Amino acid sequence: MTCPLPCRLAAALFAMLLVASPAMADGFASAAITGVRLGALDLTPDDGVAAGFSISGITPALSATLYGASSDHYSVGYPGPDVPASVALVLSDSASSAATDGTLGHVTSRAFGTAALGEFGYGTASGSEEVRVLLEPHSVLTIGGHLSSLAYRTDEVRDYDTVGLTTVSIVGASGHTYTQLARQSLSYADWPARMAIEDDFMLAFANGTAQRQAVSLYFQAWSAVTRSVTPVPEPPMAALLLGGAVLLAAQRKRGKVRSRGSGPT
């Protein structure tokens, strides 16, 4: 299907929104799944029945959240198949956005944070798409494409946790996940300041029965940035502090008992 001029202009605008890197961001995260292609292999090439599949439905979903300085914002979008769309939120110079250009399985997300998030604040974005497929008997469905994720914070600022996550899943008719691929980039206060992943992927699902089989494919690109100026102690540290306090209290109690027991009778 040929995309008309307004459609192409919208797609270009959404691409610029997603690709442009904020120059002033202290924490940044992005994720994308692109170049998705589906194929079929024949498990029984000599039976005279061709392998194949058909797409029975496509459901994209987009969301973005921003929280900072006691101000909470949330935006969602449910575009139709083959329709370029995006959602975006801006809080001063922090922002989050998610988009699809209408191509099968193509979803992107990004979030970036600055001091506008306050002492504690966050931005998240998610672009996802469900693709429902009918797989012919004795056929193998193949799913290939490219995924990328990026998470970084500026070297001099350690108040940000950033995550860029991509997942591709194949779920059978029973609802069990048969195959899942996940790639994520992380940048925490005690981790490297930047992590980036670029990876081609290939997954497969086999229908070895003599009946058509319903299969669902899920694509998601998720990004998150959290700013915490006064971080809460990590659970291991909190456990150590609590254990130390209990030990000191026990020693003090034993000392008092010993002191009373050593007096004159």
pLDDT in tens, the chain (265 residues): 344 433 443 444 344 344 444 445 689 999 999 999 999 999 999 888 889 999 999 999 999 999 987 789 999 999 999 999 999 999 888 999 999 999 999 999 999 998 889 889 999 999 999 999 999 999 999 999 999 999 998 866 668 899 999 999 999 888 876 889 999 999 986 778 899 999 999 999 999 999 999 999 999 999 999 998 865 444 444 444 444 444 444 444 444 433 334 444 3
How much is the pLDDT for 247?
Answer: 43
Query: Between β-strands 27-42 and 107-113, what pairing exists: parallel, antiparallel or unpaired?
Result: antiparallel
pTM, two decimals, is: 0.78
> Are 248 and 166 members of one domain?
no
> Are 163 and 43 members of one domain?
yes
> Are 104 and 175 members of one domain?
yes
Domain count, the chain: 2
> Are 145 and 187 members of one domain?
yes
How much is the pLDDT for 156?
Answer: 66
> Are 160 and 33 members of one domain?
yes
How much is the pLDDT for 116?
Answer: 86
> Are 208 and 134 members of one domain?
yes
Query: What domain range includes position 164?
Result: 5-230
Cα 159 from Cα 114, distance rounded (Å): 10
> Are 248 and 145 members of one domain?
no
- Nearest CA-CA partner of 61 in 181, 171, 219: 219
> Are 66 and 26 members of one domain?
yes
> Are 157 and 214 members of one domain?
yes
Cα 82 from Cα 102, distance rounded (Å): 4
Planar angle of CA 154, 95, 110, nearest 5 degrees: 75
How much is the pLDDT for 51?
Answer: 92
